[in-house]
Structure 1
Amino acid sequence: MEWFTAPDYWPARLVFQRGLAIVYLVAFLTAALQFRPLMGERGLTPVPRFVERVPFERAPSLFQLRYSDRFFAVVAWTGCGVSAALAAGLDSLVPLWGAMLLWLVPWLLYLSIVNVGQTWYSFGWESLLLETGFVAVFLGNDEVAPPIVVLFLLRWLLFRVEFGAGLIKMRGDECWRKLTCLDHHHETQPMPGPLSWFFHRLPRPLHRVEAAANHVTQLVVPFLLFTPQPVASAAAALMIVTQLWLVLSGNFSWLNWITVVLALSAVRFPADPPSVAAAPLWYEVVVLAVAALLVFLSHRPVRNMISRRQVMNRSFDSLHLVNTYGAFGTVSRIRHEVVIEGTADEVARADGEWREYEFKGKPGDPRRWPRQFAPYHLRLDWLMWFVALSPAYAGSWFGTFVERLLENDRATLKLLRRSPFPPDAPPRFVRARLYRYRYTTWRELRETGACWERTYVREFLPPTRLT
């Protein structure tokens, strides 16, 4: 079938596949380096405890069959290896069926991690990576030209990411309709980056322009993805520019980068495609069958998007095949942070010597400037932002986290930037206090060198010790 493939998109497929492999690599590396203290056998939310109460059909995973920290490490590092091989182009050196199986490996391995990841893996970019990764299995390699229906599925996914995010903003918070959300967002976002202070201090009229441009990019431009070239490429380019603006303004894990990768699949690059053989019949049948399934499953996110009760970042099936997306349906006006401190004093006095634990990414010391971590994801730091919004987000893991600090647990301390206590002298008490943080003004920054100013609000957790 001559209509089945689009040879002109051979460069777009190449760029997309290499970019997706790099995102996979970052995701698996994040899992490999953080899983043990978060959800290992002695983690804050142990996987063995989770699989005991959640059946396989609700959360299909290799770890439903067997779990050990060593096995998890094998899965995560194998994912790193396969992703690196794909980024280097291994899929172009094997037969078509071999390339499909090769792309299926990271999807299966990451699905196994996400489905037992619990609160640490509850973010929209996890499902986005899985949905993108599943579609990529059927994109082919150098033996065939890119299938048109798979390219369409990638655009349809990009459309839902952008349009869903635009709708949830317009429905969720009046500040988006008034174009005032960005007066607050750069200061109150989950994890500011090194330039976030400067973005916040931009003139307010420019914030209005930012918000209006966001609405155009998310509510109008996505429809242009389905128009003829070069309009579709221009629409994708606008989305890429918007995502790179977000990359500069904050730390949003790999959400922005995978959206960029998706947009690149819609760009027609000026390059002559190589001559390839016609797609084999079995490949056409498989691709069309999978495409029909994904289009059918899309009725659920479509119903969600048109609903007045639209929800963000929800999976409608345990395989994360077709999902709904969105971000910042509401924007906080005030930033709160939970500051954790410990003391070696025999008696926990309010005026005692309390030493502060420093996190890698979340604000702490007002004089410490935020760093760039994305696309790497600091999972504990992100959850601490939610805890500051409401104690309900702490669940049972926060108490276990405090216990690990009281034990000077080595694996847990690796999640932090610095512990104020030596390895052989753990604190006797740990407490948590809630502070309000705000960015300093230009004058305050020059006079104090601090990018944050913080004010004590209340006690979050009273002094606690091991029993």
Structure 2
Amino acid sequence: MEWFTAEDYWLSRLIFQRALAVVYLIAFLSAALQFRALIGERGMLPVPALLRRTRWQAAPGLFRLHYSDRFFALVAWTGCAVALALLAGADAHLPLWAAMLLWALPWVLYLSIVQVGQVWYGFGWESLLLETGFLAVFLGSGDTAPPVLVLWLLRWLLFRVEFGAGLIKMRGDACWRRMACLDFHHETQPMPGPLSWYFHRLPKPVHRVEVAANHVTQLLVPFLLLTPQPVAGAAAGLMIVTQLWLVLSGNFAWLNWLTITLALAAVDWSSLAGEPPAQSAPPLWYEVAVIAVTVLVLALSYRPARNLLSRRQVMNRSFDPLHLVNTYGAFGSISRVRLEVVVEGTADPVIHEGTRWQEYGFRGKPGDPRRRPRQFAPYHLRLDWMMWFAALSPAYAGSWFRPFVERLLENDRDTLRLLRHNPFPDTPPVHVRARVYRYRFTTWRELRETGCWWHRDLVRDFMRPVARAGGPDAQH
């Protein structure tokens, strides 16, 4: 079947695959370095407890067969090793079936992690990585030309990511329709980056241009992906530029980079590549597998497509337990005020008016007003992100915040590794409390005079002082 392959897209596939391997590497590294405190056997939300209260059909994965922290670490570090092998091009030196198995391995490993990750893995980019990784299994490699159907499925995924994000904005918050959301967003986004202060201080007319460009890129440009080249490639290029703007303005884990990876697959790089390498005809079993997967994805696309058209559109939702076809979207509503939960401890056995409270420092989320926001994306600081949600509503922290505080009271080593600064390096605190502050970016004048990037004001208590087990009760 001559229509089955697109020989000119061999370089597009190669660029896509190597970029996806980098994203896989970062995702597995994030899991390996953070899981013990978050979902380990002694973590805030232990995996064994989850497995006991849920059925395997709802979230199948390797950890249904066995769980231990050592086994999780093996899975995560194996994922890192496989991602490095794919980045180095190991798949290009394997037979087609073996290359497909090599690409299937990180998908299975990461699916298993996401299935037990609970709220820490409830972000849209987890499902996006799984859906992208599943399609990558069927892209082929080496001497086989890329299948046209899978290339179109990647465009269909990119269409849903961008168009879904555009629709949720127009339906969700009036400030997007008034072109005013970026008056707030750079300041109130989950984790500002080192340039976010400057983006926030841009003139309001520039913010209007930002919003207008976003609407064009997300609501109109996606339809150009369905057109022939070079228009489709130009549309993908516009998406890449928009995503790089988002990379500069904040920390969104690997969401932007994975979207860029998808866009790279929609660009025809043949003009830069010269003559394509010799490519053999795909075997019949491979053609059958690709056609079957295409039919499966199209069938599973019904509910996500219906969600796109619904007035009650939801974002970042999976409709099947394997996260094969999902719905996406981001920032359907924008916070006008930035609230932050500040966690403090004290060594005083009895709390009194003069008690000295010392603040814990987080790696990414705002804390010390003098500390400039840092760049962490595409690495994902899961605790810092959930702290942003906790400030929006205590309901987001109901399952994990108290266990987090209990581990601070124990000076738990794995939990403290998630933090930037522990004010009690030698002896655990006797009490820990949490308070909500309103943060805002300083003005140019305030920054010059005080050296502070943030100004903050106390709003209320988030959690009243909690005493260490066996310690004295808190007194107020």
TM-score normalised by L of structure 1? 0.99
For 1:72 and 1:62, locate their aligned partners in 2 and report how far apart those are by CA, in whole Å: 10
Matched-pair contact (CA < 8 Å) for 2:155–2:266? yes
- Following superposition, the deviation at residue 466 of structure 1 comes to 2.2
* SS of equivalent residue, structure 1 residue 226: coil
Q: Which residue of 2 aligns with 1:331?
A: 334
Amino acid at match of 2:166: G
Give the % identical residues. Answer: 73
Whole-Å Cα distance in 1 between the matches of residues 143 and 95 of structure 2? Answer: 7
Q: Which residue of 1 aligns with 2:472?
A: none
Alignment of structure 1 residues 164-203 onto 2, 5 Å: 164-203=164-203
CA distance in 2, matches of 1:335, 1:350: 28
1:93 partner amino acid: H
**Alignment partner, residue 439 of structure 2:** 437
Letter in 1 for 2:312: R
Give the match for residue 14 of structure 1: 14
- SS state at 2:210 partner: helix
Report the counterpart of residue 384 of structure 1 in structure 2: 387
Partner of 1:283: 286
Match of 2:452 in 1: 450
CA deviation after TM superposition for structure 1 residue 422, in Å: 1.8
User: 1:299 corresponds to which residue?
Assistant: 302
Separation in structure 2 between the aligned mates of residue 349 and residue 277 of structure 1, nearest angstrom: 78
Q: Deviations for 1:39-63, whole angstroms, at most 9, x for unmatched residues?
A: 0000000000001011110010111
C-alpha offsets along residues 227-273 of structure 1, whole Å, 9 cap, x if unaligned? 11110010000000000000000000000000000000000111221
Match of 2:208 in 1: 208
Contact 2:143/2:277 (8 A) holds in 1: no
3-state SS of 1:220 partner = helix
Aligned residue among 302, 306, 311 for 1:308: 311
- Amino acid across the alignment from 1:348: I
- Residue 360 of structure 1: aligned partner: 363
1:4 equivalent to 2:7? Answer: no
Equivalent pair of 2:144/2:281 in contact (CA under 8 Å): yes
Question: Residues of 2 paired with 1:113 and 1:222: CA distance?
Answer: 31
Change (3 A) 1:25 1:350: farther
- The CA distance in 1 between the partners of 2:250 and 2:155, in whole Å, is 25
Q: Quick one: distance in 1 between partners of 2:13 and 2:465?
A: 56
The yes-or-no answer on 1:428 pairing with 2:436 is no
Partner SS for 1:57:
helix
- Report Cα offsets for 1:74-110 as digits up to 9, x if no partner: 0000000001000110000100000000000000000
Q: Give how far 1:350 is off.
A: 4.3
Indicate the residue corresponding to 1:225 in structure 2.
225
> 1:143 & 1:52 partners in 2: Cα distance?
46
1:126-275 paired onto structure 2 within 5 Å: 126-269=126-269, 270=271, 271=273, 272-275=275-278
Q: Partner letter of residue 61 of structure 1?
A: G
Which whole-Å CA distance do the structure 2 matches of 1:380 and 1:349 have between them? 30
C-alpha distance in structure 2 between counterparts of 1:235 and 1:397, whole Å:
42
- 1:274 is displaced (CA, Å) by 1.2
- Residue 351 of structure 2: aligned partner: 348
- Stretches of structure 2 that go unaligned for 5 or more consecutive residues are 470-476
**2:448 and 2:57 mapped to 1: Cα distance?**
57
**Which residue identity does 2:47 align to in structure 1?**
V
- Post-superposition shift, 1:218? 0.2
Residue 375 (str. 1) matches residue 391 (str. 2): no
Give deviations 1:13-68, integer Å, cap 9, x for gaps: 00000000110000000000000000000000000000101111001011111100
Which residue of structure 2 aligns with residue 410 of structure 1?
413
Output the CA distance in 2 between the equivalents of 1:456 and 1:433. 7
Q: How far did residue 351 of structure 1 move?
A: 3.1
Matches within 5 A, 1:112-131: 112-131=112-131
Distance 2:239 2:353 in 1: 51
Distance in 2 (alpha carbons) for counterparts of 1:462 and 1:414: 24
The match for 1:464 is 466
Q: Does 1:80 align with 2:118?
A: no
Q: Give the alignment partner of residue 398 of structure 1, picking from 381, 388, 401.
A: 401
Please name the residue that 2:67 is paired with.
67
Is the partner of 1:399 in helix, strand or coil? helix
Q: Does 1:25 align with 2:28?
A: no
Kept after mapping to 1: 8 A contact 2:408/2:415 = yes
For 1:224 and 1:124, locate their aligned partners in 2 and report how far apart those are by CA, in whole Å. Answer: 24
Mapped partners of 1:421, 1:449: distance in 2: 26
More moved, 363-372 vs 266-275 = 266-275
Question: 2:429–2:468: 8 Å Cα contact kept in structure 1?
Answer: no
One-letter code of the match for 2:27?
A
* 1:462–1:262 distance in 2 versus 1, CA, 3 Å: same
CA contact (8 A) 2:369 2:454 kept: yes
Tell me by how many angstroms 1:429 deviates: 0.5
Q: TM-score, length-normalised on structure 2?
A: 0.97
**Conserved? CA contact 2:432–2:466, under 8 Å:** yes
Q: Distance in 2 between matches of 1:243 and 1:396?
A: 33
The aligned runs of 1:34-53 (5 Å cut-off) are: 34-53=34-53
Q: Is the 8 A contact 2:143 2:278 kept in 1?
A: no
Counterpart of 1:73, as a letter, is: A
Partners of 2:293 and 2:358 in 1: CA distance? 56
User: Cα gap change, 1:7/1:410 in structure 2, threshold over 3 Å: closer, same or farther?
Assistant: same
The residue number in structure 1 matching 2:473 is: none
In 2, Cα distance between equivalents of 1:417 and 1:465: 23
> What is the CA–CA distance in structure 1 between the aligned matches of 2:79 and 2:398, rounded to whole Å?
30
AA aligned opposite 2:336: R
Question: What is the CA distance between 1:366 and its match in structure 2?
Answer: 0.2
Residue identity opposite 2:462 in structure 1 = F
Which letter maps to 1:234? A
Output the amino acid matched with 2:255: L
